[in-house]
Chains A and B, each alone.
Chain A
Amino acid sequence: MAGTGKAHLRPGADIILNVEDLVVEFKVGRDKIVKAVSGVSFDLVRGETFAVVGESGCGKSTLGKAILQLPKPTSGKVEFLSKDLTKLKGNDLRDMRPAMQMIFQDPVSSLDPRQPVSAVLAEPLKVWNKGNQVEIDAKIDELLFAVNLDPAVVRDRRSYEFSGGQCQRISIARALALDPTLIICDEPVSSLDVSVQAQILNLLQDMKDRYGLTLIFISHDLAVVKMISTRVMVMYLGKVCEVAAPEELYNHTKHHYTKALVASVPIPDPDRRINAGLIQGEPPSPVNPPSGCRFRTRCPMASDLCAAEEPELREVAPDHFVACHHPVVD
């Protein structure tokens, strides 16, 4: 798996983000290079929720940050609203920033503990000169109402006075402040309790409908992704494995890695034990990834071909793409 290719791109649709051959590498030590993202391509149609799924270290968070040019990717193209962000600098890039916002994994540490909520939300509005104090105050109240917090109660409190779920609501309000087109959600619910997780997922869905947002939803939990996304991309060690709509992906899984991910989701039923044995161990180091298909070292179906040749993404069913030499047979 873990292939390259662009068969899954959708030219002609209302594309707001087009990422092609994105590569992100970090230098570590004197001569080692971490290959965090290696030639990933995907596109985003306005209004969809695009999920990026994979284990820790597969490059999904790096991918999200590289889209925002934080830091700039090593090579590749990131075309957002018809502008190639990798070629923009200084104020030109800065002008694009309000349209793309991010929600981080750890809601508590992503808020300044010394600022009251009103200051947290006012900051982006002030930086971008969105009106006088009265208008800004009105906007803050509107944002807090939108995320189901009572402005009168929360405005003057600081982040440490809130639970994780409430902090995540404030982070969502902050991301909404500048009326963005795209929000990148990096594991927004993975540090929350299941009961709170459901509230935040519903809230994201509501905000998306209300403000006409397009979301990139980064997660390691396939069950969460299934609830919320319209298209899913599975990543492994910096490469794309499989791209499909969620129903198709779960019902007709083609990639052995996706199959293992699906099998690992805990099931709240004592009579159905989950199958942890499909893949063992952990991904190899991205400093020295395996040749050919990067998943072959953990894949039950790996052959000589997998070591020699990297699989390319190809369409195996309508709008279902997989990068594997020996895809799962239904």
Chain B
Amino acid sequence: MSVLLKLEDLSVSFATPRGALKAVNHVNLELLKGESLGVVGESGSGKTVLSRATMGLLPGTATRTGTITYNGQDVTALPKDEVRKLWGTGMAMIFQDPMTALNPVRRIGSQLTESLTVRLGMDKKVAREKAIQLLKRVRIPEPELMLRKFPYQLSGGMRQRIMIAIAISCGPEMLFADEPTTALDVTVQAQVLELLSELREEYNMGMILVTHDLGVVAGHTDKIAVMYAGDVVEYAPTRALFKNMKMPYTEALFKSIPRLETPTGTRLPVIEGRLPDPTKNEPGCPFANRCPYVQDKCRAQAPPLVDAGDNHFYRCWFPIGGGQ
């Protein structure tokens, strides 16, 4: 399979009154056509900034360095209007909050047909037919009626389906889903994740699924990048990651998930402390202060990304189960 997206040495920082805030540090990732990558981390780990930087959706205060190669083309070198042309047909995004991502004063039909008429040049009648097909595809009952509705008339799950329909409307080659199910109930979450996986196979889309929940990515991705304080701290095929976690942070995230098997009244292991201040440049591993296995070396020197073979990378001096 050919490479769809390649991030090389991608860094993003924001200008703030307290100095430069480093949100993403020297990230290298690769996504093949039709492949699904999970980006996992806590709030503030840089996972959302990473996906927005790739799309070219950063505010003016941001500085982006490194290269983003999409379909063999370096998009960081492209002028803004060329990048814009990629949106919808090349890359599309589903945002976290389906309540605010839709325009509250426009009908679903007009929001859904907008990209079809603007991007694909369809006339209104054809676009309407296509919109109905899309709504059927994302399993919305009575699609004709739905076109006349406003977002406030819909539940969170329905709105997220509309967002998905809009995102896939121009047949994108790659889809960013930024916490697509965080605002949803578990039952609806399961349905939406299933739908995304189906669509990905059907359209052979690459997908980047951004979430804080390892449980969500487990069944729906081919590989996973765990982010912490702007760094990718572990990067591996999904099965390998769950079977053989190297980085203590990944393990801590994994252990803090409540499960049905856990007996009632058990205390969940927690990750004490907080993310380091992203405006300060402190030596050592950024996870050192919260790591249960911390040693002196961790505080003195930041660990490099180690290649453990079989596409498994980690950033730790004292990995779980020993090195390599």
- Chain A residues proximal to chain B, CB less than 8 Å: 55-57, 163-164, 193-199, 201-202, 205, 220-224, 226-230, 245-247, 250, 260-277, 279-282
Contacts and interface: CB of A to CB of B under 8 A. Distances in A.
A146 to B, nearest CB: 17
Contact of A55 (B188, B194, B216, B239): B188
A279 B239 contact: no
A194 B43 CA distance: 10
B103 to A, nearest CB: 22
Nearest to B192: A276
A199 B267 CA distance: 9
Interface stretch (B68-76, B248-256, B305-313): B248-256
Given A266-B186, A266-B189, 7 more contacts: A194-B213, A195-B212, A222-B186, A228-B264, A268-B214, A274-B219, A275-B190
A264 B219 contact: no
Nearest to A206: B267
A292 B256 CA distance: 41
Interface string B233-256: 000001100100000000011101
Nearest to B182: A191
B215 to A, nearest CB: 3
Contacts of A56: 155-156, 185
Contacts of B264: 226-230, 245-247
Contact of A267 (B42, B188, B212, B215): B215
A274 B266 CA distance: 24
Contacts of B215: 265-268
A250 to B, nearest CB: 6
Interface in B181-199: 185-191, 193-194
Contacts of A224: 258
A193 B157 CA distance: 20
Given A198-B269, A247-B263, A261 B186 contact: yes
28 contacts: A55-B185, A56-B155, A163-B274, A164-B43, A195-B271, A198-B256, A198-B270, A201-B258, A201-B268, A205-B267, A223-B260, A226-B259, A226-B260, A266-B186, A266-B193, A266-B213, A266-B218, A266-B219, A268-B214, A268-B215, A268-B257, A268-B259, A269-B218, A270-B218, A270-B219, A274-B190, A276-B191, A280-B139
Contact of A266 (B216, B242, B268, B271): B216
A319 to B, nearest CB: 14
Interface in B137-171: 139, 141, 155-158
A164 B156 CA distance: 21
A264 B187 contact: yes
Task: Output the residue of B238, B254, B260, B269 with the most chain A CB within 10 A.
Answer: B260
Contacts of A275: 190
A268 B254 contact: yes
Given A202-B268, A246-B264, A270-B239, A282 B218 contact: no
A228 to B, nearest CB: 8
A193 B219 contact: no
A194 B256 contact: yes
B242 A270 contact: yes
A281 B238 CA distance: 29
Contacts of A250: 260
B153 to A, nearest CB: 11
Given A55-B188, A272-B219, A193 B43 contact: yes
Contacts of A262: 260
Interface string B38-79: 000011100000000000000000000000000000000000
Contacts of A272: 218-219
A275 B189 CA distance: 11
Contacts of B185: 55-56, 220
Contacts of B259: 223, 226, 265, 267-268
Contacts of B193: 266, 276
Lowest 3 A-B CB distances belong to which pairs?
A: A266-B215, A276-B190, A198-B268
A259 to B, nearest CB: 11
Contact of B141 (A57, A221, A245, A281): A281
B262 interface: yes
B197 to A, nearest CB: 9
Contacts of B44: 163
Contacts of B256: 194-195, 197-198
A220 B242 contact: no
A268 B269 CA distance: 16
Contacts of A261: 186-187
Contacts of A276: 190-191, 193-194
Contacts of B189: 264, 266
A280 B271 contact: no
